[in-house]
Structure 1
Amino acid sequence: MLRRWGLAGLLLVLGALLWVTGGSVFFFLAFALLAAFVSPALFPRSLTAAEAQRRSATDGRAIVYWRPGCPFCVRLRATLGGAARRAHWVDIWRDPEGAAAVRAVADGNETVPTVVLAGTPYVNPDPRWLLSRLRAG
């Protein structure tokens, strides 16, 4: 749990320290906003890899493997907006099977975001490309 929320918590503490030591409230608010962006709270509910694969086999949705604190995952999530609900999300820090699935397609690395769309894996795809695919159905 600490690993998932650690970066967001650290940013909040740093913002609070800046504010308390004479900085303006602007710094705290800026750090709080940044903490919100890197926290797991902005992402859709994560499934296990097995559950995501099972659901994807029946509904054809994409599977997005991600981890908290990943700036590329935040960029992808922000670009997708509401379309993010059209994919199944797997947090590789919570699911060892998900991490193994990513390593299997990313040369042994846990490179995220990794997206599996129609059975084909894409490592760190262009967010606009994925958005167009999710909107197309």
Structure 2
Amino acid sequence: MTRAWILPSLFAASGSLLAAMLVVKGSWGVAVVMLPVFVLLAGLHSPLAFPRSIGAAEAQRRSAVDGRPVVYWRAGCTYCLRLRIRLGRSARQVHWVDIWSDPEGATRVRAANDGNETVPTVVVAGQAYVNPDPQWVRGQLG
């Protein structure tokens, strides 16, 4: 299992355990509500909530051609999730790089952030921006 799936797995396991405990205590209704909540949290914090990631070199190449931003992110990051949700359908137009699955992406984020893996780091025209406003990122798309 990769690091990207640890937090979603913990959400799913915790929700299952909580639901089982509630069923044993006779609280079927609460269990029926709690399990989907934890499954939803697991899905939101998983790589599935984001468009398919590509490698940092490929993202940089594509960005040079089409001028769209590159977003360096990692699963479990609430700020990355906020950016993804607030971009809505526009998120598919951005080049996403998961720094936990691409070591070169992690290296580029550390270079832009004084050695820290601070995400989301958005690169537009070669300039890195840490945790920018989602409206600003959307404005960079067109």
TM-score range, shorter chain: over 0.9
1:113 corresponds in structure 2 to: 120
* 8 Å Cα contact 1:79/1:131 also seen in 2: no
Structure 1 alignment gaps of length 5 or more: none
Q: How does 1:1-137 map to 2 (within 5 A)?
A: 1-22=1-22, 24-134=31-141, 137=142
Q: 1:132 Cα shift?
A: 2.6
TM-score by length of 2: 0.91
Measure, in 1, the Cα distance between the counterparts of 2:60 and 2:139: 21
TM-score by length of 1: 0.94
- Count of matched residue pairs: 135
Percent of paired sites with the same residue: 59
* 8 Å Cα contact 2:68/2:140 also seen in 1: no
Structure 2 alignment gaps of length 5 or more: 23-29
Q: 1:128 Cα shift?
A: 2.1
Measure, in 2, the Cα distance between the counterparts of 1:107 and 1:11: 32
C-alpha distance after superposition, 1:29-71 (max 9, x if no partner): 1111111110100111111000101111111111000001111
- SS of residue in 1 equivalent to 2:123: strand
- SS of residue in 1 equivalent to 2:140: helix
Give 4+ residue runs of structure 1 displaced > 3 Å after superposition. Answer: none
**Aligned Cα RMSD in Å?**
1.0
Measure, in 1, the Cα distance between the counterparts of 2:37 and 2:49: 17
Higher-Rg member (1/2): 2
